[in-house]
């Protein structure tokens, strides 16, 4: 099914071909003609719009819309086919974001994380929880060699000792499992 969205904004007539992803800015004639194009002949469209526009304007707009359609830029057909094997596939984890500190040293009033604690108790992750997360990542990474772990918070450097221990542990186990872990940290430091 061809899906077209139309809207006018700031003096522009905008047409979006949803299935093809193209966006077009059209004049008033072509903008109105789009609604009639697929279910009417050129003559029927001229008859329906001749009280607003000249036959020459309508024909020019019709040819423009026809050209866009022929180029695959308007009224494209959705070719997506659902593959049930995608749902049943073995899931692979390639990255983790470890929330190692549910607290922050700055406590900015505008913070998206409610000053680092996300509106909850101020807590920090212990090494055993982080170690279990790394083990989970490696066990569920399939044949992926390159993995990622980001230390996040609040402010993750408020739990820097555990961050260092987890990096040390990750470096130790990555070599025995044929993995390469890229560590990053999201910090205000």
**Rounded Cα–Cα distance for residues 15 and 24 (Å):** 5
**Rounded Cα–Cα distance for residues 61 and 4 (Å):** 17
Residue-by-residue pLDDT tens, the chain, 189 positions: 568 999 999 999 999 999 889 999 999 999 999 999 999 999 999 999 999 999 999 999 999 999 999 999 999 988 888 888 777 778 899 999 999 998 888 878 787 777 666 777 888 999 999 999 999 999 999 999 999 999 998 899 999 999 999 999 999 999 999 999 999 999 987
- Percentages helix, strand, coil for the chain (3-state, rounded to 5) are 40, 20, 35
**Rounded Cα–Cα distance for residues 22 and 70 (Å):** 13
Are residues 151 and 167 in contact, defined by beta-carbon separation less than 8 angstroms? no
């Amino acid at each position: 099914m061809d899906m077209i969205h139309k809207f006018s904004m700031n003096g522009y007539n905008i047409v979006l071909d949803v299935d093809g992803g193209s966006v077009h800015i059209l004049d008033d004639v072509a903008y109105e003609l789009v609604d009639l194009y697929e279910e009417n002949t050129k003559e029927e469209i001229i008859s329906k719009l001749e009280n607003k526009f000249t036959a020459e304007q309508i024909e020019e707009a019709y040819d423009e819309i026809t050209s866009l359609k022929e180029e695959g830029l308007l009224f494209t057909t959705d070719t997506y086919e659902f593959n049930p094997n995608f749902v049943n596939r073995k899931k692979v984890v390639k990255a983790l974001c470890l929330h190692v500190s549910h607290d922050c040293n700055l406590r900015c009033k505008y913070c998206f994380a409610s000053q680092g604690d996300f509106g909850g108790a101020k807590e920090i992750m212990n090494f055993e929880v982080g170690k279990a997360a790394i083990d989970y990542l490696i066990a569920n990474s399939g044949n992926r060699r390159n993995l990622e772990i980001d230390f996040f918070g609040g402010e993750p450097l408020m739990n820097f000792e555990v961050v260092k221990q987890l990096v040390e542990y990750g470096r130790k186990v990555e070599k025995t499992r044929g993995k390469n872990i890229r560590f990053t940290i999201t910090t205000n430091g």
